[in-house]
Amino acid sequence: MLQIDMKSAIATVKSKRAKKVAVQIPEGLKTKLTEIVKEVEEKTGAAVFSFVEPCFGACDLGDAWAKELGAELLLHFGHTQILGQSKIPTVYLPLEYNLEGKKLETALKKLDELLRAGKMKKVALCTTIQYLPCLQELKKALGKKGFSVLIGKGKGAEAGQVLGCNYSAVKSVAGKADAVAFFGDGLFHPLGISFCCKKPVFLLNPIEGRAEQLKEQRDLLLRKRIAMVEKVKQAKTVGIWVSTKRGQQRAKLAMELKKKFEGRGKAAFIFASGLLNPEYLLGVQVEAIVSTACPRIALDDSSSFKQAIVNPNEALIALGERKFEEFEFDELA
Ligand code: SF4
């Protein structure tokens, strides 16, 4: 179950004596939006403006909008800070999972078996923000089982933290490890790790109480991406998409890519918007899209687009400037 630190939220609003507060929450918490707002309003007397545009990371900070609306404070739920100074005072309130001990135990037991079977003793451990408070405890538990555990420190992330666009923490220690263990749910992050760390990657899933080595999923993804890159190679018209979100904006890269595609005789156009919604491209005559924004869009949402969609790393493969053996998820950090 997700835990929300409402005490800190309320205490900050009170200490700042804020009368107008902006709230930004991740999609997964929208069902709790009215509950959260009600509590803030009732306990502080402040008026709350809730942003309802989808927010998937702290790369998409709502500070400019909040300032425009006259808010004195922004409560950003779900993520830790990754951008520089905010335009108005901002409090980051990450969510934490309340884990079920039994499921975690089962997952750990399975991981122990898998690591032993592979004769792997040194493990690089990492997770996403929701599970970060558990990491040291997990390190101890694996240490007790006789493993040597490494937790790396990266750029723009906490020790041991990975984001869908930043694997620097795990990359800093993976070279010294026999394997990487990703603690969390979902395949995106461990798959990203498997491409940038070149070590066996294990998923330790505390929600489902299981552990597994990622292999087939990695091969399947690679096959899908090869097919996508092939379509971009064949395309005669390419749209290069730039996000206007502060932490995802890569206008310079978009211009460089446009030149490269034009140099190969293709027509290339730069498009901009906050979110990349496939509907925004209805009627636009391009056969392929290069998304320079959040790497998850091209990898997770490709089926929503009628055009082929790739990230800049893949675009370079399509342009013949990179080999497929060098395939990695795109990173923004
Ligand atoms: S760019 Fe994507 S992966 Fe990175 S923080 Fe933003 S939403 Fe998360």
Give the distance (Å) from ligand 1 centre to CA of residue 200: 24
Distances (CA, A) of 100 to 94, 135, 140, 199, 204: 19, 15, 18, 29, 14
Q: Is 147 helix (H, G, I), strand (E, B) or coil?
A: coil
Give the CATH H-level superfamily of domain 101-214: Diphthamide synthesis DPH1/DPH2 domain 2 (3.40.50.11850)
Q: Is the CB of 297 under 6 A from ligand 1?
A: no
In this structure, what are the phi and psi dihedrals at residue 187, rounded to the nearest 5 degrees?
A: -100, -15
Cβ neighbours, 10 Å, residue 214: 19
Residue 302: CB partners within 8 Å, gap ≥ 6? 224, 228, 308, 309
Give the distance (Å) from ligand 1 centre to CA of residue 105: 30
Q: Which amino acid is at 33?
A: L
* Global pTM value: 0.92
Scan for tokens 């037991």, then name that residue: 109
pLDDT by position in tens, the chain (length 333): 678 889 999 999 999 999 999 999 999 899 999 999 999 999 999 999 999 999 999 999 999 999 999 999 999 999 999 999 999 999 999 888 777 788 889 999 999 999 999 999 999 999 999 899 889 999 999 999 999 999 999 998 999 999 999 999 999 999 999 999 999 999 999 999 999 998 999 999 999 999 999 999 999 999 999 999 999 999 999 999 999 999 999 999 999 999 999 999 999 999 999 999 999 999 999 999 999 999 999 999 999 999 999 999 999 999 999 999 999 999 997
Hey, where are the domains in the chain? 2-95, 101-214, 222-326
Ligand 1 atom 1, closest CA: 294
Ligand 1 atom 4, closest CA: 165
Same fold, 2-95 and 222-326: yes
Give the CATH H-level superfamily of domain 222-326: Diphthamide synthesis DPH1/DPH2 domain 3 (3.40.50.11860)
What are the residues facing 202 on neighbouring strands?
A: 181, 213
Contact of 153 with 226, CB cutoff 8 Å = no
Candidates 330, 285, 283, 277; CA nearest to 305 is 277
Ligand 1 atom 8, closest CA: 57
Give the CATH H-level superfamily of domain 2-95: Diphthamide synthesis DPH1/DPH2 domain 1 (3.40.50.11840)
